[in-house]
């Protein structure tokens, strides 16, 4: 996409954000409670799906509840940090062309963070704490640090949209959960479209400034994709669902061939983007 096409896309996305704006604090009709007898997540999307590690339906439903909490917590914890990074860049010289849409992005992500957390605090004990990341988050240089931030946002959004787009139409789960997933999917489609074009431009700029860091950045992004997939497997979720030896369950589930195939599906769209854009020399491996 050339510059004129990108400018047109930005204007269109900003217009859609204005036209489709909603008040997150009044959008949802929060029920008094959400039944624990219902599936809070479709069983096919649980981290033990297809592994045979858990067969009891009651335990699986408990895991669906705790993994919903983990999923929402990942968003709250992850987007909070990334919003800080976006806020540092808005109204700076390198981002002048993106200011208006970045304001929409921050406002929409703030709404998402609120309603994901609100669900957890209303119906569970709250969100899970953020796990420490083994990956360094800066130090690549200004241009490459920009690539880090917006690549992480894009990966984050693609993972969530994979689940949101499916859970938002899933009749098996409670209405409030289906509505939350659908609302998030609706907004994320704009964020992903913007993010892909921005990452391409930031990567081109960084390559021109410091081409010697290109391979390091490819490794970092792939490592972040792996870390992001693994974050779905929270030992606290297994523990809260009543599973013994949660760390062992996590290890076995993550290594299972069925789950590795699922990881590839979750990451397929963003992996195709990075490879097609020339950011990856080879595809990511689950």
- What is the value of pTM for the model shown? 0.93
pLDDT at site 11: 85
What domain range includes position 239?
3-18+36-276
Q: How many domains does the chain have?
A: 1
Residue 175: inside a domain, yes or no? yes
Per-residue pLDDT at 237: 97
78-to-42, 156, 252, 255, 285 alpha-carbon distances in Å = 23, 8, 25, 24, 23
Look at residue 134 in the predicted model and tell me its pLDDT.
67
What does the DSSP assignment read for 241-268? TT-SSHHHHHHHHHHSHHHHHHHHHHHH
Helices (H) then strands (E): counts for the chain:
10, 0
In a domain, 30, yes or no: no
Predicted pLDDT of residue 75: 92
pLDDT at residue 136 in the model: 63
- Digits of tens for pLDDT over the chain (286 positions)? 677 788 888 888 888 889 888 999 999 999 999 999 999 999 999 999 999 999 999 999 999 999 999 999 999 998 888 889 899 999 998 898 889 889 999 999 999 999 999 999 999 999 999 887 766 666 677 789 999 999 999 998 999 999 999 999 999 999 999 999 999 998 888 888 889 999 999 999 999 999 999 999 999 999 999 999 999 999 999 999 999 999 999 999 999 999 999 999 999 999 999 999 999 999 999 8
Residue 170 belongs to domain with CATH number: 1.10.620.20
Long-range contacts of 197-205 (CB under 8 A, 24+ apart): 197/1, 197/6, 197/9, 198/98, 198/150, 199/147, 199/150, 199/151, 199/154, 199/277, 199/279, 200/277, 200/279, 201/6, 202/143, 202/146, 202/147, 202/150, 203/147, 203/277, 203/278, 203/279, 205/143, 205/146
């Amino acid at each position: 996409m050339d510059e004129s096409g990108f400018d047109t896309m930005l204007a269109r996305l900003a217009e859609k954000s204005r036209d489709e704006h909603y008040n997150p604090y009044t959008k949802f009709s929060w029920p008094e409670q959400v039944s624990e007898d219902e599936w809070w997540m479709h069983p096919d999307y649980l981290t033990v799906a297809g592994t045979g590690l858990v067969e009891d339906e009651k335990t699986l439903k408990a895991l669906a509840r705790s993994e919903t909490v983990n999923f929402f917590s990942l968003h709250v914890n992850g987007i909070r940090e990334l919003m800080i990074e976006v806020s540092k860049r808005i109204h700076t010289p390198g981002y002048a062309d993106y200011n208006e849409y970045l304001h929409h992005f921050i406002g929409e992500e703030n709404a998402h963070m609120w309603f994901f957390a609100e669900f957890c605090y209303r119906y569970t004990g709250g969100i899970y704490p953020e796990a420490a990341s083994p990956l360094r988050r800066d130090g690549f240089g200004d241009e490459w640090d920009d690539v880090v931030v917006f690549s992480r946002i894009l990966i984050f959004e693609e993972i969530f949209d994979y689940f949101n787009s499916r859970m938002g139409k899933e009749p098996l789960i409670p209405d409030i959960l289906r509505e939350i997933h659908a609302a998030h999917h609706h907004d994320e489609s704009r964020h992903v479209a913007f993010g892909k074009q921005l990452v391409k431009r930031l990567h081109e700029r960084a390559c021109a400034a410091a081409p010697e860091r290109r391979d390091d950045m490819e490794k970092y992004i792939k490592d972040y994709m792996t870390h992001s997939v693994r974050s779905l497997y929270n030992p606290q979720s297994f523990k809260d669902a009543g599973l013994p030896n949660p760390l062992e369950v996590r290890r076995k589930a993550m290594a299972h061939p069925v789950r590795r195939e699922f990881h590839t599906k979750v990451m397929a769209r963003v992996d195709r983007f990075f490879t097609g854009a020339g950011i990856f020399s080879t595809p990511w491996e689950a």
